[in-house]
Amino acid sequence: MSDTTLRPRIALLPLDDRPVNVRLPGDVAAVAGVILDVPPAEILPSYRVAGDATALGAWLLDRVADPATVHVVVSVDMLLYGGLIASRTSADTTREVLERLDVLREVRRRRPELPISAVSLVTRASNSYSAAEEPEYWREHGKEIHALGGDAHRLLDEADVLPLSELTPVPAEIVSDYSARRLRNHIMNLSTLALVEDATLDFLAITADDTAPFAAGSAEQVWLRHWMRMLPSGRDVLMYPGADEVGAALVARALAANAGVTASFSVACADAEGMTRIPPYENMSLAASASRQIRAAGAVEVSEGGDVTLVLHAPDPDRHDMFRGRPDQVDEDAVAGTVALIRERLDAGEHVALADVRYPNGADEALVRALAEAGLLGRLEAFGGWNTAGNTLGSVVAVAAAGVVGRATDTFDARAARIALLTRLLDDFAYQAVVRTDSGPALFPDVYPMADDGRVATAERVIREELTALLESTLPAEDVRIQELTLPWRRSFEIGLVLS
């Protein structure tokens, strides 16, 4: 199918403009030989500047008019607010955003047979004093607002409503602004459940990033779960920890649906106890999260003999965050156990995908180096080790599931699969766990985004040079090179990579 006009296309409204939300889903589609369409950059958000919600809705309807479009994947946050950050900061009214849901009804009216998969996020409450992705008052009150959500959650079953002053020191006008926006977003999530019930949506995932067992978002999930039980179609909705990986997972789901192929995953972990741990920034066990990520990608979990063996490198019980530097001590037993498990499954002829959820915000450096020394990295079906456990799990499952679809339909693109694998190894291991830790403090100031173009250019050059050295010395590079490296939000947290 060299003629792209004959190839099926998936239309994606991404969560925001970052590479994990735009390029990663494209990598997933490419593995199965399918084209992914995303909106042009000029109508997408740019960091804190919201996308053009009206133009985004019009773009989606335009893609629906193309008969080659076989599936629509929609971030509700993008459609309604113009992106993830805008959902937390915009002043759009509930009435305004409710009207934007009509775009999905119009898609259904124009193409009744066209599948629509959607994801809507439960708004986070970052436990920090960073306003980089939050309202400006987060700099002074962020941790207290986060704590307020947790305390209110603990009081769910209480009949009395305490005075606000007994719950938080945050001024009432700030609590009002924050809570009104959460209420608006919660109404939107409830409304997406209604779209499942009236068959506007074929599939809905409601996901939550940066949450905790007790938090405002976790309380809202209790109420959403109530309506999932009450509405007959609510049982088909998936709710789980995640955010930036969901676009990739739903693209994998679209690939499977279009091809009529259901990938199967067997889950394996060298640390059985690790499956019961709740990873940092999440509110369910690793085992439960992995199961939901598999289902979100349109796949099934089986006890053994799956198309893919999903190996989990379990969370560190001390919950070290790679963003704060390397762990003081390497757990050699944990590394050796995962390496041995991967070797065993590969030698048995299984397709193995590795989700390294040992630490948030970066791969386990010792594990990746051990796999490289053993000659196992290039034999992996997929790899991930970035941000939260949910982010890693969803992206790994998505790439691996796309491989199953591609092989079943004879459209598998081995080059695209290799690019997808190396992109994540370069980002999650080489950058997040090594270069960012070693060179980041000298390259990036405490305040971001960086305003100085010269500093941005210097950081991009240094990072590219150091990643190139690791690509050539440690990773299964062969003829792959870094074609482009950018800092999309002019900060250290993420990079944009294009490989060739």
Using a pLDDT cut of 90, give the percent of the chain over it.
93
pLDDT higher than threshold 60 for residue 3 = no
The mean pLDDT value for 147-151 works out to: 97
The mean pLDDT value for 281-308 works out to: 96
What pLDDT score was predicted for residue 212?
A: 87
The mean pLDDT value for 78-88 works out to: 98
* Residues 43-71: tens digit of each pLDDT: 999 999 999 999 999 999 999 999 999 99
* Residues 392-418: tens digit of each pLDDT: 999 999 999 999 999 999 999 999 999
Please say whether the structural domain 4-257 has been given the CATH code 3.10.20.
no
* Residues 227-237: tens digit of each pLDDT: 999 999 999 99
pLDDT higher than threshold 90 for residue 246 = yes
The mean pLDDT value for 250-266 works out to: 98
Task: Give the CA diameter of the chain.
Answer: 66
Name the least confident of 184-188, 196-200, 369-373, 447-451.
447-451
Using a pLDDT cut of 70, give the percent of the chain over it.
99
pTM of the model: 0.96
What pLDDT score was predicted for residue 2?
A: 46
Comparing 4-257 with 262-412, is the CATH topology the same?
Answer: yes
What pLDDT score was predicted for residue 324?
A: 73
**All structural domains of the chain with their residue ranges:** 4-257, 262-412, 413-500
Tell which CATH classification among 3.40.50, 3.30.70, 1.10.540, 3.90.1010 matches the domain 262-412: 3.40.50
* Residues 426-443: tens digit of each pLDDT: 999 999 999 999 999 999
Structure confidence at residue 4 as a pLDDT band (50, 70, 90): low
The mean pLDDT value for 366-373 works out to: 98
Structure confidence at residue 352 as a pLDDT band (50, 70, 90): very high
What pLDDT score was predicted for residue 318?
A: 85
* Residues 173-222: tens digit of each pLDDT: 999 999 999 999 999 999 999 999 999 999 999 999 888 899 999 999 99
Most confident of 82-96, 313-327, 444-458: 82-96
